[in-house]
Amino acid sequence: MQPLRSPRRQQDREAKQLQAAVWRLRACCSLEELVETLEGFRSDQPPVLVEAAVQGARLARGAQGPGAGALLHRLLGAVAGHCAMHLERYDLPLLAALLGACARARHTPEELLLPLQLRLAGEARRVGPPEDAAPHLAALATHLSRLRVTSPRLWAALGAAAAAALPRASAADVAALLAAHARVDAPNAALFERGAARAAAELHDAQPQDVATLVWALARAHHPLPRGLARALAQHLGAGAGAGGYSLVQVASLAGACGRLRVSSAELRLALSQRGAEALLEEAAALASHAAGNHASLRQLFSPQSGPLSGALSGSGPRSGVRSRPSVTAPQPPDSEAVAVLVAGLGALGPHDPALLRAAATFLTAVAEAAAEAGEGDGGAAGLGLPGAGSGEAGVQAPAGEVVAAVAAALRAAGLVGEAAELEAKALPSSGAAEPSEGSVAAAAQATGL
């Protein structure tokens, strides 16, 4: 007669088996091997199935041929189907991980959406959601928005569950939740109001990227910026909070969003102007120092991967994709479009600060001079091996003419006529520039997505 195992020893044994299965899935080198390994387990444990989905989405990135995509979608469909039938066995972290795998594979789990809606409605009715519910609900919302799921009832249930979890949410959680709702145009005034209040209380610990995402979401949803949040934002900008502080693109995103909302806060407008001027001068100095070195540094400085500002404003958070400030060793490509958005956004809030406009002119001049040096020195772009050399593609580029014209128009409007003429002489093509119109600043901002 064999001795009975204690419940604790049995649980430990099952946990070890589960961990071993997970590690075997992570060790798979191909999608076919992953599916074969999963079938060999004959397991219906949710952690194993979700791990298979996550690893499948990872392995499919490097897979060749149409068969890999079909195999991945069959795998995700099977896991989502099991989840829909046994939803009570899947906690919020597993649901978020599964939806994340589906989002990476662009696979919409239609069979899971209605059960998920009912589950979220139940979460909202609970006496109190789990303490760690907010980040997982934020991840769910982000993945659903990336999949372009627009079911009003699903988003209403998700919003109710998120509202219940807000008391324990961080500013990053709030930013992701509101950005997801804004991305799919799912109106929820109560969630935005309570989320903005919660974010204002937690903003001191927030990263600049999350703050930019939060304010972008409010602007996208046409939700007013509360006074408390405006004060907290001004203080956050003044403190330069977060590793490395606010980059030029992040400040431009904030200014563009605040300009769209017509925020009436002199304190915030001053903070945006000051931080914007600092970011412009910092990037101009970094650009000049690298341009003064050997030409090899320019291979890093200019790259066709420099996305437009509208990509940086697409949402968010670590999730938004906003570029960080250039470092000394690995500078980022200068983004002259950000200057147009910064100038246009601040112009919508009130008269421009002359220091900001002079900083914008300095930055654009530095970009133009570096581009000219890269194109002419040592054989030009072809001699440097830069992208686009000799192929007609854009490699090293001077700032766009409409951006320079926009800043020049703002300089003239502020009475800085001499600075405007000097900027046009240094940053515009020698063939001559058209006289900038009064609406060129707004036109440049509209072209970048604001």
Name the DSSP class of 151. Answer: -
- H helices within 27-151, ranges in order? 31-41, 46-60, 66-85, 92-105, 110-125, 133-146
What pLDDT sits at residue 292? 59
Express each pLDDT in 258-294 by its tens digit. 999 999 999 999 999 999 999 999 988 888 776 555 4
The domain limits of the chain are 44-58+74-124+132-184, 207-377+396-450
pLDDT, position 433: 47
Q: Round to whole Å and give the CA distance between 278 and 381.
A: 30
Q: How far is Cα 251 from Cα 260, in angstroms, rounded to an integer?
A: 14
Residues of the chain where predicted confidence (pLDDT) is lower than 50: 1, 242-243, 294-331, 377-396, 431-450
Alpha carbon distance 392, 89 (integer Å):
57
What is the pLDDT, as a whole number, of residue 233?
95
| Contact assessment for residue 242 and residue 212, using Cβ atoms and an 8 Å cutoff | no
Instruction: Tell me the β-bridge partners of 320.
Output: 317
> pLDDT at position 395, please?
41
DSSP conformation class of 449: T
CA–CA separation, 303 and 309 (whole Å): 15
Inter-residue contact 444 to 402 (CB < 8 Å): yes
User: Burial letters for 98-136: b for 16+ Cβ neighbours within 10 Å, e otherwise?
Assistant: bbbbbbbbebbbeebbebbbebbbebbeeeebeeebbbb
**Alpha carbons 365 and 290: distance in angstroms, whole number:** 15
Q: What pLDDT digit, counting tens, does each position of 96-124 carry?
A: 999 999 999 999 999 999 999 999 998 88
Which pLDDT belongs to residue 420? 92
pLDDT of 4: 52
